[in-house]
Amino acid sequence: MRMKMKRCTVLILMLMSAAVFAVTDKSAVNELEKLSTENNSTEAQFKQSKNSKSWNNNQYNTGGRLVCESVRGQRQHCRADTSGGVRLVKQLGYNKCQGNWGYDYYGVWVTNGCRAEFQVDRYQQHYGQTEDVLRCESYSYRRQTCATNLQGADVQLIHQLSNRNCSGNWGFNQNEIWVANGCKADFRIVRNNYTGPGSRDGIVECRSTGTRVEHCQVPDLQSVELIQEIGGSYRNSCRGNWGYSSHGLWVRNGCHAQFSVVEYQEPSYSNQPGGQGREVYCESNYGQVKTCRADTSGRVEFVQQLSSASCDNRWGYDANGIWVKDGCRARFMTFPGSVGNQAPVTESFEVKCKSRRNNLKLCDTKGPFRDVELIREISKGKYPCTGNWGVNPQGQLFVTNNCYAEFKVYR
């Protein structure tokens, strides 16, 4: 009897251990534990530290482990290479370190008497690899873009490095992640392959817990429709609580539903009689720049503004498609370069255009033109031209936010 009880006890313990391991493993894959960012360094503190005599001494840790200690409860900042993320390995003092430590873009900080040993490998420990972790930093509150080929991948902010809040101050499109207003953060590029509408008949299930906004990764979509609401109560109603943005399909306020999605397909004009154009719908959510895939090899026309926010000087197009920003939502019509009722292009010339003091500048194109392309970005780095140039509804080429570039204009 005792032997039987022992065997049952061992079996139960094994099952419990397996269950705990499975839950832990699942949570580890899904989300990195959030750390306090309240005491992250400001830009003023960073400059003050950089100008100090001790900047070039041995306090900078380029890897491995370091010990950082808060003396008399005061905030202490220990310089370290934090590019791989930082984790607490061992608490060395009596005061609890939970909620009393964190890391920013140039070191680790502790407060309230926390004394501990830290390891610079947090992202590797959690994800197993760091090839898809990218750091992007906005200095002097300027907008900064960090170029990367996302190829339809999703982007997650995994740790805020700045004292300034990153909420609403970052975003991404097909070829870059951008930050603004002093936001500095580490981002993870999630390259999970989307199975596509061909599998599961184009059905995507998306769920929000509580009041949080949740994003479900989907490809560039031509259309999306809510087909079945799974949440049973009125409180969890999806009415007004779902949409599609540059982050993908989003839900909020407890919305849980299935959506029918149609993936964007490259346009084929051969089946369109008379070379008619193709309609494109594009929307900027949360003020972010959204690039909508479209054939811009020919003419692009602004058809109708659908948003309450004006689309004047808030849309344009390049080789990747049509872009909108600052809440602009509109319909456009695109015409391929080889069909339609366009006259053949007989003249082209190059023009340089520069925005000063962040002001909008209308470029001299010597009259109306049929098409334009950016051929050289002169103001690289601090003043990127992505999202800061375009053609307004009056057909005028413009640049803004200190963009300085060279364009090729076709008559």
Q: Report the C-alpha gap between 381 and 145 in whole angstroms.
A: 8
379 CB-near residues (< 8 Å, 6+ apart): 354, 385, 402, 403, 404, 405
Contact 41, 163 (CB under 8 A): yes
Whole-number pLDDT of residue 25: 39
Q: Report the C-alpha gap between 98 and 78 in whole angstroms.
A: 17
The mean pLDDT values, 10 residues at a time, for the chain of 411 residues are: 53 47 41 89 87 65 79 92 91 90 94 93 83 87 79 82 87 78 90 43 74 71 74 64 70 82 56 59 73 80 80 80 82 70 60 89 82 83 80 80 88 71
CA nearest to 130, candidates 32, 16, 47: 32
* C-alpha triplet 292, 180, 402: angle, nearest 5°: 80
* C-alpha triplet 13, 14, 16: angle, nearest 5°: 65
CA nearest to 318, candidates 386, 246, 219: 386
Whole-number pLDDT of residue 210: 74
Whole-number pLDDT of residue 64: 76
Query: What would the two tokens of residue 64 be?
Result: 């491995």
